[in-house]
Homo-oligomer: A and B are copies of this chain.
Amino acid sequence: MLIGKLAIFGVGLIGGSFALASREAGRVSEVVGVGRSAENLRAALELGVIDRIAADAADAVQDADLVLLAMPVGQMAAVMTQIAPHLKAGTVVTDAGSTKQDVVALARQHLARHLEWFVPGHPIAGAEHSGVKAARADLYRGRNVVLTPLPENVPAALERVDAAWRACGANVSHTSAANHDSVFAAVSHLPHLLAFALVDDIAAKANAEELFHHAASGFRDFTRIAASSPEMWRDISLANRDALLGELDAYQAQLARLRTMLENRDGAGLAQVFGSASQARRKWGMEKQF
């Protein structure tokens, strides 16, 4: 048993799946849950995701070996403030936020005396469903988890978080918070913004019904991510504003370039861009085996 007590703040898809996977791997003896919705916590208890509902934040982190902050990033500051006075040396804290520089900034502000033991993290395992009922022990199997360690971290803290995610079946890598945010601005945040923009564009047209009627499977795939939570993506966009603006500018320049080719009927130019994209996408698709 490498983790005696595990405390999960926000027992939804992400936190719940981490608890289930850790339990299945035989790595935890007790899982306690904390959250704003009593109903959700009762469901987590009934589903066997947690062993008990913590009385409060202090009770949750008391003697915990690992604390996972898996609630929406909007609640991060409040939860950090609540737990800070009760954290002791040796209690490792990690999070599951989609952006990292903002979480690091909050930790520096609210967990200043506990930075040795706070290891920021991001499991890359979104899913179409959310909530504890969607939690699965295998959610992280083969998925990537990116940790962005702080210079203050003691090796033991990093090792514990690393081992916990590996036990869930995840591939763990480390990078800086700034590089993390720049990478995910490109491969996740920008695509979400583009998909939201396209669907809103079409939904606002006078013939929206006709347009959606004729939309087929390519459109379905392209826009699936536009069904994601608007609040969550607003928060992510604002949290990673600078990197996302940079990616958006580069993308707009690329679109302007394609527009010029189209206007000039430059078939060779279009074929070159489409061809390099198609080749890169096929290569990636094969490597990822889907």
Contact = CB atoms under 8 A, between A and B. Distances in A.
Interface string A245-259: 100111110111011
A36 to B, nearest CB: 20
Contact of A251 (B190, B198, B207): B198
A174 interface: no
A112 interface: no
Nearest to A217: B126
Nearest to A201: B254
Contacts of A256: 252
Contacts of A284: 212, 215
Contacts of A228: 218, 278
Nearest to A259: B248
A221 B224 contact: yes
B197 A285 contact: no
A262 interface: yes
B254 A252 contact: no
Interface size range of chain A in the complex: 35 or more
Interface stretch (A78-86, A113-121, A229-237): A229-237
B278 A216 contact: no
B203 A277 contact: yes
B220 A290 contact: yes
Contacts of A258: 193, 196-197, 248
Contact of A255 (B252, B262, B278, B280): B252
A126 B218 contact: yes
Given A211-B183, A284-B215, A285-B220, A195 B277 contact: yes
Given A196-B278, A222-B225, 19 more contacts: A144-B213, A144-B214, A187-B202, A187-B215, A187-B219, A188-B218, A190-B198, A193-B258, A197-B258, A203-B277, A222-B222, A224-B285, A227-B285, A228-B278, A233-B270, A234-B274, A241-B265, A251-B255, A255-B255
Interface of A: 124-126, 143-144, 146, 183-184, 186-188, 190-205, 207-208, 210-231, 233-235, 237-238, 241, 244-245, 248-252, 254-256, 258-259, 262-263, 265, 267, 270-271, 273-278, 280-282, 284-285, 287-288, 290
11 contacts: A143-B216, A183-B214, A187-B211, A202-B280, A220-B285, A220-B288, A220-B290, A221-B225, A234-B270, A235-B267, A244-B262
